[in-house]
Amino acid sequence: MKIDLHCHSTCSDGTYAPADVVQRAHAAGVDVLALTDHDTLLGIDEARATATACGMTLINGVEISCEHTLTGGYGKNKSTNKIIHIVGLDFTDLDKMHATLQQLQDSRATRGQRITEKLSELLDTDYEELWQAILDKAGGNSQAVGRAHIGQVLFERGDVKTVQKAFDKYLADNKAAYVAIDALSMARGIELIHACGGKAVLAHPTRYQLSATRVRKLIAEFAELGGDACELPATSEPISTRRMVDRSIAEHGLMASIGSDFHGSNMPWRRIGDVPTLSTEQRGVWQLFQHSNH
């Protein structure tokens, strides 16, 4: 049986529509596929219809961005904040999952506006005018507005001498115009997946620009928080990397998951169905799937 439990469509940052992704997986001989778009379930229905027509099994999937602070470095690297991706697989409560993810998307869209409101009071300036300038800077997309756009606008308007000053005075964490981003912690991400009836998988542990020590620490912390499985490194990664991940998976009693992380023509080197092979002592997370509901 050929399994691929990590891929993307145009519903997030992939280049093929969900139906096309499934057809490509079918052509590559995949039997069990999970479409795991970033923070959205929008492609699942279309993917399921095509999978059914192709005689494939489609597993409900999503890739959730979680914030996690890794500690234990030295000096200025003592702790580092990272966005860690957790893949949710085989969850059954799609409504609950969708509602929670939607709430996070909405908070991201309104965060820029909430910062702008604070700034318009602090600078005694017109909110609408300031927000329009910031929106223009972000290409008109309110969800894309980040603090860098806002800092740039304040600098261009002459409210601050440099963009850095905008951060130092207003935008940095806990400064006068700061608004926290509503991101899920790794613990809450795992909890959400479990609450929706699914399995939580740590996505590509070696792709977060972390040292080997920190990769091992990340896998350990994911396991401690109740995570179910860890993705195996891509076949293109060195064998030493794979062995390190294998050791951590064994040490923490995690299951293994495999996925191509296929995106399409923007990352042509990741081919659908091109997944690593489990070693003899590893158990695949799909052994826990409740196939009855697919």
Does 180 map to a domain? no
- What mean pLDDT comes out for the span 141-156? 89
Task: Examine residue 186 and state whether it is found in any structural domain, yes or no.
Answer: no
Q: What domain range includes position 134?
A: 102-171
3-state helix/strand/coil string of 221-268: HHHHCCCCEEECCCCCCCHHHHHHHHHHHHHCCCEEECCCCECCCCCC
pLDDT of residue 294: 41
Q: Which residue has the higher pLDDT, 48 or 78?
A: 48
- Select the more confidently predicted residue: 142 or 38: 38
User: Under a CB-based contact definition with an 8 Å cutoff, are residues 193 and 64 in contact?
Assistant: yes
The SS3 of residue 42 is coil
Domain assignment present for residue 141? The answer is yes
Determine the pLDDT at residue 183.
82
Q: With respect to residue 111, please indicate whether it lies within any of the assigned structural domains.
A: yes
148 and 287 share one domain = no
Q: Is residue 189 part of a domain?
A: no
Mean residue pLDDT across the chain: 93
Average pLDDT over residues 29-46: 96
Which of 171, 189, 216 is the last residue in one of the domains?
171
Residues 231 and 152 in one domain: no
Check: CB of residue 218 under 8 Å from CB of residue 210. yes
Sign, CA torsion 140/146/149/155: positive
At 54 the pLDDT is 96
Predicted local distance difference test score (pLDDT) of residue 77: 62
pLDDT digits (tens, 9 = 90+) for 172-225: 988 999 998 778 999 999 999 999 999 999 999 999 999 999 999 999 999 999
Q: Are residues 121 and 263 in the same domain?
A: no
CA 142 to chain centre: 20
The domain total for the chain is 2
Asked if 76 and 108 sit in the same domain, the reply is: no
Please give the pLDDT value at position 99.
96
Write down the pLDDT at residue 3.
Answer: 98
For residue 183, is it within any domain? Answer: no
- 207 and 283, same domain (yes or no): yes
**Shared domain check, 201 and 289:** yes
Residue at 177 is within a domain: no
Residues 216, 85 share a domain: yes
pLDDT confidence of residue 76: 61
pTM of the model: 0.83
Q: Give the mean pLDDT of 24-38.
A: 97
* 293, 92 contact by CB (below 8 A): yes
CATH number of the domain enclosing 74:
3.20.20.140
157 lies in the same domain as 226? no
pLDDT number for residue 71? 75
Predicted pLDDT of residue 293: 43
On whether the CB atoms of residues 275 and 204 are closer than 8 A, the answer is no
Same domain, 115 and 231: no
